[in-house]
Amino acid sequence: MKVAPSILSADFSQLRQDIELIEREGADWVHVDVMDGQFVPNITFGPNVVEAIRPHTSLPLDVHLMIVDPDRYINAFAEAGADIITIHAESTDHLHRSLQLINQLNVKSGVAINPGTPVSAIEPVLDLVDLVLVMTVNPGFGGQSFIDSTVQKMAQLNDLRQQHDYHYAIEVDGGIKAGPETVRCLEAGVDVFVAGSYIYGAEDPAERIAKLKAVGEP
Ligand code: DX5
Ligand code: ZN
């Protein structure tokens, strides 16, 4: 399993140190939550923050766009140094076109679904993406509780992947900690675990990364 700490819960006054810390401690990706105050009720980072952190880590920057009409900013995030750009199915009227836009750039593409959105909403685009992000909380804030009904969507995505030989990774985001939910996600076929408050909210983030990784070890 891969662990992608979300810098939404980092200390923004020392973002560079907080990113260097997780890289040292075995994180696999850096998860960057971009919020516009419209798609979700919170505002965070723009492309200039991605550009600022880019030189300070060799880890892939996993950019999760929670913004309306993402086409407007896809290019800017790619140029800023994003490695993966994930857009929400609910945020664009032309999901297929938006994903094509990402695929034309030198970055990996992802599609995200909110807890209230079924897998069927993204079935027609599953052959286009490198990543499917199953939101396990309603997006907008860190520190919320994992929503159980999302697990069956992970299993469904895993089945579709096997049936059609799709290559996407399955990622979960929201309320992840080293507990029974994570075990169930793993069993359902999840590859990448985003964790914000569990890692950055702890006295010892290194210990939390190790604990999370240990769940995935036999
Ligand atoms: C939620 C964000 C998450 C958030 C997760 O809107 O997409 O990435 O940082 O935070 P935790 O792990 O605290 O639920
Ligand atoms: Zn996220």
Cβ within 8 Å of residue 97, ≥6 positions away: 71
Q: What confidence score (pLDDT) does residue 189 get?
A: 98
Q: Which residue has the tokens 């914000």?
A: 196
Nearest atom in ligand 1 to 144's CA = 14
Whether the predicted pLDDT of 75 surpasses 90: yes
Tokens 């210990």 belong to which residue? 207
Q: Which two tokens stand for residue 75?
A: 């290019």
- Ligand 1 touching residue 194 (CB < 6 A): yes
Q: Which residues of 108-128 are buried (b: 16+ CB within 10 A; e: fewer)?
A: bbbbbbbbebebeebeebbeb
pLDDT given at position 113: 99
CB 136 within 8 Å of CB 115:
yes
- Residue 47, ligand 1, Cβ within 6 A: no
Q: What is the pTM assigned to this prediction?
A: 0.98
**Which pLDDT score is estimated for 153?**
98
Q: Kindly give the number of the ligand 1 atom that is closest to the alpha carbon of 64.
A: 7
Over residues 93-114, the mean pLDDT reads 98
Rounded average pLDDT over 87-101: 98
pLDDT in tens, 44-68: 999 999 999 999 999 999 999 999 9
Residue 14 has a pLDDT of 98
Q: What is the pLDDT of residue 218?
A: 78
Longest dimension (CA), the chain: 46
Residues 17-37 have a mean pLDDT of 98
* Cross-sheet strand order for the sheet of 169-173: 2-5, 192-195, 169-173, 131-135, 108-113, 84-88, 61-66, 30-35
Residues 165-215 have pLDDT tens digits of 999 999 999 999 999 999 999 999 999 999 999 999 999 999 999 999 999
Q: Which residues are catalytic?
A: 33, 173
Instruction: Give CA angle at 206 (205, 208), nearest 5°.
Output: 65
**pLDDT tens, residue by residue, 113-148:** 999 999 999 999 999 999 999 999 999 999 999 999
A 10 A CB-CB count for 57 gives 17
For residue 42, give the ligand nearest its CA: 1
* Closest C-alpha among 39, 10, 25 to residue 138: 39
**Does the structure show a pLDDT above 90 at 7?**
yes
Atom of ligand 1 lying closest to residue 136 CA: 14
Please tell me the distance between residue 12's alpha carbon and the centre of ligand 2 in angstroms. Answer: 16
34-45: average pLDDT = 98
- Residue 18, number of CB atoms within 10 A of its CB: 20
